[in-house]
Amino acid sequence: MIVKSLTQRGKRTRAALLTAGRDAFEECGYDGVRVDDVCARAGVSHGTFYTYFDSKEALFAEVAEAVVGEMFAANVVGPSAPADPYARIAAANRLYLRAWSANSRLVRMLEHAATVDDRFGGLLLELREVFVRRGEEGLRRLQQQGLADASLDPRLTAIMLGGMVEQFAHVWLDLGERASEEAAVDHLTRLWARAIGLTPPSGSGEEA
């Protein structure tokens, strides 16, 4: 990545290249994008591209970093969410599905790139780690409150249940499995709650 002090015009040009690159990657896939395609979308010359990025790979790395940051921010269950732990799990699942819906193609490209380039592997691990850490911390709190199965390893449980949600998001949003958002969130939340020994509130659809 080329790092330099930029004028306001330079910042606008760089931002335009990032937006054009993101649009191109989403529409055409990583292998289908050429630097000239990005330049055409951004309305700049081929040489201008290399003022800001030294390769297509460098551009994709920055686009991927932005996606990771957006997914972090989009998945924060804030203080306005209900205090009830079951409702908070449901809120987290809903936010994850929506974040995946907005970024699924780029996340899949990142997964592919991670198989051949360690820097992308690091980004992917960073993305997954934040969800694992949140799940782990949440389960520890519930165990301390006597609301979840104390025999479960918090980290392993978070990894396994997070994997369930991620795989469902892929099958649902990328492969076209038919389900409403409400049904998806309801089933994921009931499965998650049952797995950790959390009793859902009455009316959640779970049997007593």
The phi-psi region of residue 164 (left if phi > 0; otherwise alpha if psi is between -120 and 50; otherwise beta) is alpha
> Cα separation of 202 and 156, whole Å?
28
User: How large a percentage of the chain has pLDDT more than 90?
Assistant: 56
Q: What is the mean pLDDT of residues 183-201?
A: 93
Whether the predicted pLDDT of 95 surpasses 80:
yes
Coil, helix or strand for 157? helix
> Cα separation of 103 and 67, whole Å?
7
> Cα separation of 192 and 206, whole Å?
12
Q: Say if CB 19 and CB 10 are below 8 A apart.
A: no
What pLDDT does residue 204 have?
54
pTM score = 0.78
Nearest one of 98, 120, 105, 101 to 26, comparing CA atoms: 105
Whether the predicted pLDDT of 1 surpasses 70:
no
In order of start, what are the domains of the chain with their CATH numbers? 8-54 (1.10.10.60), 61-196 (1.10.357.10)
Express each pLDDT in 47-82 by its tens digit.
999 999 999 999 999 998 888 888 878 777 766 667
Provide the mean pLDDT of the chain: 88
What pLDDT does residue 200 have?
72
Q: What is the mean pLDDT of residues 131-146?
A: 93
